[in-house]
């Protein structure tokens, strides 16, 4: 893709990254209405700003942006986890990726993953992990095409529903 550049994010990117994170959240909510939702108010923006500042300062983290025509059209963030009591000892965790809709399916995501993998290689990462929202078929296909296979499922319910189900079960026992 012409006019595309990939680089490390910096503090001057934070406002654009906040907007991309909000767009990512909206996309995820459109894929699955049961995920935890966030608000788009000033408090959420402040929270995202702090989170992004921490990401930029984290020596084990790597935040990369893709720029086109002087605007950020996507990002990827990964972090290296070093563990002494589990195998593999060094894991690369892909914690977020987002490409604006009009730039998807053009190799931008793959380029971002390549950039993050180069960082993981310098850190001697042995295995890479990623999470995506159930119902996000784009993510499922993308990660599957890169060799990712589901390992752990996360399931949610409300406390109220869990109590109701448990009470029904308990009433059958007695």
Residue carrying structure tokens 């595309």: 4
| Buried-state track 123-137, b at ≥16 Cβ within 10 A, e below 16 | bebeebebebbbebe
Domains and CATH numbers, the chain: 4-173 (3.40.630.30)
Residue range 35-48: mean pLDDT, rounded: 77
- Single pTM value for the model: 0.81
Structure tokens at 149: 């296979």
Tell me the CB-side half-sphere exposure of residue 101, using CA atoms within 13 A. 5
Q: Could you tell me the maximum CA-CA distance found in the chain, to the nearest angstrom?
A: 70
**Residue 134 φ then ψ, to 5°:** -60, 130
User: CB–CB of 63/77 below 8 Å?
Assistant: yes
pLDDT at 3 > cutoff 70? yes
Task: Give the model confidence (pLDDT) of 7-35 as tens digits.
Answer: 999 999 999 998 888 887 887 777 777 76
Task: Give the model confidence (pLDDT) of 50-97 as tens digits.
Answer: 999 999 999 999 999 999 887 999 999 999 999 999 999 999 999 998
* Separation of alpha carbons 68 and 164, rounded Å: 52
Residue carrying structure tokens 């012409």: 2
């Amino acid at each position: 893709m012409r006019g595309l550049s990939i680089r490390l994010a910096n503090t001057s990117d934070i406002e654009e990254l906040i907007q991309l994170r909000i767009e990512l959240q909206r996309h995820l909510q459109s894929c699955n209405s049961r995920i935890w939702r966030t608000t788009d108010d000033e408090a959420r923006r402040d929270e995202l700003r702090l989170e992004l500042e921490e990401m930029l300062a984290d020596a084990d983290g790597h935040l990369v942006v893709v720029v086109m025509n002087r605007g950020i059209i996507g990002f990827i963030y990964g972090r290296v986890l070093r563990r002494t009591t589990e195998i593999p000892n060094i894991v690369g965790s892909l914690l977020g990726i987002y490409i604006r809709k009009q730039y998807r399916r053009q190799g931008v995501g793959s380029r971002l993953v390549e950039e993050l993998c180069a960082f993981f290689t310098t850190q001697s990462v042995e295995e890479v992990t990623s999470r995506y929202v159930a119902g996000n078929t784009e993510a499922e296909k993308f990660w599957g095409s890169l060799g990712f296979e589901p390992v752990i499922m996360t399931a949610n319910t409300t406390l109220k529903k869990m109590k109701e189900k448990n009470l029904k079960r308990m009433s059958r026992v007695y």
